[in-house]
Chains A and B, each alone.
Chain A
Amino acid sequence: MRLTLQRVFALSIKELLALLRDAASRAVLIGPPIIQLLVFGYAATFDLSHVPFVVYNQDQGQLSRDFIARFAGSPSFALLRPVHSQRALQRAIDDKDALMAMDIGPNFTSDLQRGRTTHVQIVLDGRDSNTAGLAIGYAQSIVTAFNESETAEHNGIPPPAVLVDRAWFNPNLDSHWFIIPGICGILTLLESMLAAGLSVAREREMGTFDQLLVTPMGPTEILIGKALPGFLIGAAEGSLIILVAILWFHVPFTGSFLALFLGMFCFLLATVGIGLMLSSLAMTQQQGLLGVFLFMVPAIVLSGFATPIANMPPAVQYITLLDPLRYFLIVLRATFLEGAGISLLWAQLWPLAVIGIASMIVAGQLFRRFN
């Protein structure tokens, strides 16, 4: 037993040294994740801000100017320029100068003053249909607010009943709070999988794997020795990134750290296990990298990072059950925003542990079979 521990320890040290030996490897392991979190943390948002729009205003009155001012004054939109013809409006959209164009008819003010309903055309660029869809929602709520104050001002009848709405866990509906924990998950996945995924492939390519096999170490010892460094690197990176999310981006952390780290432990078990599995199938590092990619890209897409899993077709939803990132994202978001403790998260932890142990066992088998 003591001998086993010694061997595993020695192999882990060797693996860590292989990864951290030269300055370039150290730099790419530590620098990019932090920089990426900082850049992506600011970039990744579904909240619209300063989306450019153009207006073709054929109305001479004050009310249309008030109407436009509500859009121009909102933080979501920014008036690019007024246009003076239908053609210019169309050009602005076609050339992607503006995402939205408003066409206000000549009778806007007079209609409103006579208490008649007036129509405004709003055109959106559907090439970017996600943003267009979001912009419709923002525009509608500005129009609704304009209508309410118009009704109140002109005929004194109180506006129709309004809904009281509240949002739990994220009262200002700031989508950064949703996405930044997700980025933490993706970066942890990336670091641990790459470290593990290339480890066996590198030795195969260099021919040193055979040397490892003629040592007195058993396959299990090799497996654990290979798994530990990826695990340690993933855990260190993950903790660092989460710290940045809390301290720099001020995403509130309301749950239990114990639950989060237990989740991270199980998650790393799964990613390192899968990484080793792919790595032991590969004969060269390029094949290892390809394997990591073929796994990682779908894992990110199907994790619910940007698109809700509930929107996927049922068959695809079943596939997501195999995706470790899916569970870890739930753990991250629940501990960050929903204040969840361990008891709420068992349902996420055990599948991760199962995936991790199963892939480790398969990786161990592959070591044996290929040699």
Chain B
Amino acid sequence: MNGMRLRGLVRKETYEILRDPSSIAIAFVLPLALLLIFGYGVSLDARRIPVAEVVDHPSQLTASYLAELERSAWFHPTVYPDPASAEQALLDGRADAILWLRSDFTRLSYSGGAPIGLVVNGVDANQARIIKNYVNGTWLAWLQEEAIRKGAPLAVPVVANTRVWFNPALRSRDYLIPGLIAIIMTLIGALLTALVVAREWERGTMEGIMVTPVNRAEILLGKLVPYFVMGMGGMILSTAMAVFLFDVPLRGSLWVLLGAAALFLLTALGMGLVISVLARSQFVAAMLAIVTTFLPAFILSGFLFDIRSMPRVIQLLTHVVAARYFVAMLQSIFLAGDVWPVILRNAMGLAVLCMFFLGIALLRFRKRLD
């Protein structure tokens, strides 16, 4: 390792970055655009679900129940004259559920029958389940209210008081944005480095480097340093946007956050380097980068889908997805604080992956032209 040679290589890469604005765009425009889209565009909170209501025999009771539904912020009810037209609305996608108050609503609600039919569109199973829960909740609340009005409160044996720690209002933005930062950093890391070695092979400039006295480690490090600096810039930008624009609380310390980000970025860049070293054409490198980094970070990191609910084999597989560790750390550092057991456990996982990738890159990168 020679300091002067390394400096020279770093300078070469830096010039290359500065002269092709697309690298800078990856580091700064990508986070900006993605955070804005996600921050404003995406929410997992179901709001105002269109519901078709059919009332066979309107009465004071049905009116009072419908008023209860209307009061909740979750439904946007529309009244249809008969079940057939409501079913048509469900088929056309104008309604996501049908609530049918049958003709014997008044009689049955006193005798314990089932006076309400609920039909949901099950295509989006998650939303369908949410609708069922909301409707059930309003139904029980209304029954209790009616019972109290009549002076005979229903006996409810067990009441579950649920409390959600760290994000009591279940603001989905607070949890999506830390996860999104992990995805953005994955993209930056892999995209920036995936092409850099492959490009030199494809353009034939690798030959020029080969004939110089620089060694393998210097070449790889020379590629790593400038992109690392840019990636950290992207991280700081993303964090600033999360905290100042989207009001996501940062309960842990900034230094722990930056430390975790640095470790993750090294891993992501290392992974990009491995791809770049293995693939000698940019098309193959681009394909591999997307396949092995972006989509796994999106689906296997626990950002959207709960890892513990996945089949055992897939759970094992998620251990080689670097974003998995970073998502867990970011969610803890942003929403809970510096929870050391979580941070250390995940940092260990990242460190192992990081050494693995950098080691492979070094081993497979040969100063040979064949």
- Known pairs A147-B157, A151-B155; A293 contacts B22 (CB<8 A): no
> B232 on the interface (CB 8 Å rule)?
no
> A312 on the interface (CB 8 Å rule)?
yes
Q: Which residues of B from 2 to 61 have beta carbons under 8 Å from A?
A: 20, 22-23, 25-26, 29-30, 33-34, 37-38, 40-50
Residues of A within 8 A of B (CB): 19, 22, 24-25, 28-29, 32, 36, 39-40, 42-52, 67, 93-96, 99, 112, 115, 117-134, 136-137, 139-141, 143-144, 146-147, 150-151, 154-155, 157-171, 173-175, 177-178, 186, 190, 194, 198, 202, 205, 282, 284-287, 289-290, 293-294, 297-298, 300-302, 306-308, 310-313, 316, 319, 333, 337-338
Chain B hits for A284, CB < 8 A? 20, 22
How many residues on B have C-beta within 8 angstroms of the other chain's C-beta atoms?
116
Chain A hits for B291, CB < 8 A? 28, 32, 36
Looking across the interface, which residue of chain A has its beta carbon closest to that of B49?
Answer: A310
Chain A hits for B37, CB < 8 A? 298, 301-302, 316
Looking across the interface, which residue of chain A has its beta carbon closest to that of B330?
Answer: A127
- For the complex, give the distance between the alpha carbons of A64 and B115 in Å: 32
- Known pairs A24-B284, A39-B314, A294-B29; A146 contacts B133 (CB<8 A): no
Listed from nearest, the 8 A-B pairs whose CB atoms lie closest are A126-B167, A170-B122, A167-B122, A158-B112, A175-B125, A46-B126, A28-B287, A316-B41
Among A118, A126, A154, A155, contact of B166 (Cβ-Cβ < 8 Å): A126
Among A119, A163, A174, A198, contact of B125 (Cβ-Cβ < 8 Å): A174
Chain A hits for B281, CB < 8 A? 22, 24-25
Q: Is the CB of B299 within 8 A of A43?
A: yes
> B158 on the interface (CB 8 Å rule)?
yes
- For the complex, give the distance between the alpha carbons of A130 and B306 in Å: 9
- For the complex, give the distance between the alpha carbons of A84 and B262 in Å: 39
> B113 on the interface (CB 8 Å rule)?
yes
> B336 on the interface (CB 8 Å rule)?
yes
Residues of B within 8 A of A (CB): 20, 22-23, 25-26, 29-30, 33-34, 37-38, 40-50, 90-91, 108-109, 111-130, 132-133, 135-137, 139-140, 143, 154-168, 170-172, 174-175, 187, 191, 195, 199, 202-203, 279-284, 286-288, 290-291, 294-295, 298-300, 302, 304-306, 308-311, 313-314, 317-318, 328, 331-332, 335-336, 339, 341-342
- For the complex, give the distance between the alpha carbons of A164 and B116 in Å: 7
